[in-house]
Amino acid sequence: MAFLHKTPRIAPPPEGRTGILLVNLGTPDDTGYFSVRRYLSEFLSDRRVIESPPLIWQPILQGIILTKRPFASGANYARIWHKEENASPLRVYTRRQAEGLAERLRADGVPVEWGMRYGRPSVAKAVESLMDQGCDRIISIALYPQYSATTTATANDQLFRALMRLRRQPAVLTVPSFPDHPAFIRALETSVQDTLAGLSFKPQQIVASFHGLPKTCIEKGDTYRDECERTISALRQALGLSEEQMPLTFQSRFGPLEWVQPYTAPFVKALPAQGITKIAVIMPGFMVDCLETLDEIGNELREEFMEAGGEEFALVPCLNDSKGAIDLLEDLSRSAMAGFQRG
């Protein structure tokens, strides 16, 4: 393999220069069949996501799944597509988070770039841009509050792959997950309070829905469920709510394996029969709104709840580009920068 080298546009100063890299999951470039297929193929080919042997999994993926699923997924994306910017909400809000953080760090001379684990803009291009701006040190923040090998680890993998191709590598620090970081919990608390203040009804429950994970991943040592518990415990305490008032559930299950439970959809559909007909749903595992929050919960789950006898359903937005989100990212960045100074 030929190692890459590009003379940076701005040479690193003698004292060094730090840049911030935000890494999110990724998104199709548009809602068309081939764009969605490319994205799903990359995503579902990741061994961190699907651990089945490729010789068994790839014929299934490239045949049955990717023949049909891009049509359905494309229609789902179309329902939540950001028309003004012609991009998915995940791309729009990730970019805005990077821009907001860059503004906070501008006076410190710290550039900020963003990249996607799957799709564009790539992590490699973001690294190249930071190095071109004279950065010889990079702080990488994976935008997943709770650690999982399927999210945080694979984001780090992609960063390390980019570094493997470079002749001159920057020093890199990866920021740990932040499930109960005070700034994260404050931002969630504010989001809940602001949402409730704008409602015409009082929810009987605020259901917390995290992305699911196969149970086998937990059994093999993934700490994801424990970190979800840390988040919801801290948020309940901040809001003065009980476990019954803010239950923990898991969404987005697919395939035949058992996933961590309780599953969000069956849990929510059963609530009206228990006399709970007015609810709000918060998704504290997602830093920005995306297909899983706006469509799976905001559209599909809402419809299922109403059909089961529900009366009122509210969605608590993800942190997106709120002040609380930028406060959190600034706090994480500055804490990492303080421990990453050249001696």
User: What integer pLDDT is reported at residue 210 of this predicted model?
Assistant: 98
pLDDT over threshold 70, residue 298: yes
CATH of the domain at 277: 3.40.50.1400
Asked if residue 63 and residue 82 are part of one domain, the reply reads: yes
Asked if residue 263 and residue 157 are part of one domain, the reply reads: no
- Alpha helices by DSSP H, 198-311: 215-219, 224-239, 264-269, 302-307
Other C-beta atoms lying within 10 Å of the C-beta of residue 215: 15
Residue 190 lies in a domain: yes
User: How much is the pTM?
Assistant: 0.96
Residue 5 lies in a domain: no
Asked if residue 76 and residue 161 are part of one domain, the reply reads: yes
* Range 251-256 average pLDDT: 90
What pLDDT, in 10s, does the model give residues 80-115?
999 999 999 999 999 999 999 999 999 999 999 999
* Range 289-298 average pLDDT: 98
* Range 215-240 average pLDDT: 98
Residue 104 lies in a domain: yes
Whether the Cβ atoms of residue 294 and residue 82 lie closer than 8 Å to each other: no
Asked if residue 190 and residue 123 are part of one domain, the reply reads: no
* Range 182-202 average pLDDT: 98
Asked if residue 186 and residue 105 are part of one domain, the reply reads: no
Residue 7 lies in a domain: no
Element housing 280 (H / E): strand 278-282
Asked if residue 239 and residue 187 are part of one domain, the reply reads: yes
Asked if residue 46 and residue 32 are part of one domain, the reply reads: yes
Note down the domain range covering 193: 182-315
Confidence of residue 340 (pLDDT cuts 50, 70, 90): confident
Which two three-digit tokens encode residue 199?
């409602």
Whether the Cβ atoms of residue 191 and residue 239 lie closer than 8 Å to each other: no
Asked if residue 159 and residue 62 are part of one domain, the reply reads: yes
Element housing 185 (H / E): helix 182-197
Asked if residue 134 and residue 282 are part of one domain, the reply reads: no
Question: What's the Rg (C-alpha) of the chain?
Answer: 21
Q: What percent of the chain has pLDDT over 70?
A: 99
Total domains present in the chain: 2
Residue 12 lies in a domain: no
Confidence of residue 342 (pLDDT cuts 50, 70, 90): low
Whether the Cβ atoms of residue 246 and residue 279 lie closer than 8 Å to each other: no
Cis bond before residue 121 (omega within 30° of 0): yes
Which two three-digit tokens encode residue 162?
């980019």
Confidence of residue 333 (pLDDT cuts 50, 70, 90): very high
Nearest to 134 by CA among 22, 23, 6: 6
Q: Which residues contact 15 (CB under 8 A, 6 or more apart)?
A: 342
Asked if residue 124 and residue 75 are part of one domain, the reply reads: yes
pLDDT over threshold 60, residue 336: yes
Summarize the annotated binding site for Fe(2+) as residue ranges.
211, 292
Summarize the annotated binding site as residue ranges.
211, 292
